[in-house]
Amino acid sequence: MSAVPKPQYQFRPMTAADLDAIMEIEPHIYSHPWTRGNFADSLKSAHNAWVLMHNEEIIGYALMMMVLDEAHLLNLSISKAYQKQGLGRLLLEHMISIAQTLNAANMFLEVRASNISAIALYENIGFNEMAVRRGYYPAHHGREDAILMGLAI
């Protein structure tokens, strides 16, 4: 048995009280971050919104919209200090589990074409490229394509 304790991670539903902490993370990991209003609107729309906690700190979050039997992953984010530790996968698997609980048949998402590490994670989980949405995302110089990916669950 190891004397080093394993880090403790917990999931809980996101609340409006979490937005200050989320707004501390979001602009450090995206060139075009969501606004506080985007998060507040998602919460008001009763989207499935979860935070990933390490001890008492929010280190990640995800939001998902359900439409009939389809889950649309809107945002999946891990704080920069906690990236590359498998926590994005942990959070994605949690969201897939939530979608299954809600009887979703499929999960869909868009990802920037330049976000190679996210695309690799999604493919590793079993997502497949379905289409390219030309000019979907704002970019520093013009627009960037999104890859539409889907997973049968």
- Residues forming the active site: 110, 122
Q: Which of 139, 79, 131 is nearest to 109 (CA)?
A: 131
DSSP state of 86: S
Contact predicate 14/49, CB 8 Å: yes
CB-based burial label for 145 (10 Å; 0-12, 13-18, 19+): middle
Nearest C-alpha neighbor of 62 from the set 23, 85, 103, 91: 91
Report the length, in residues, of the chain. 153
90-115 burial code (b ≥16 CB/10 A, e <16)? ebbebbbebbeeeebeebbbbbbbeb
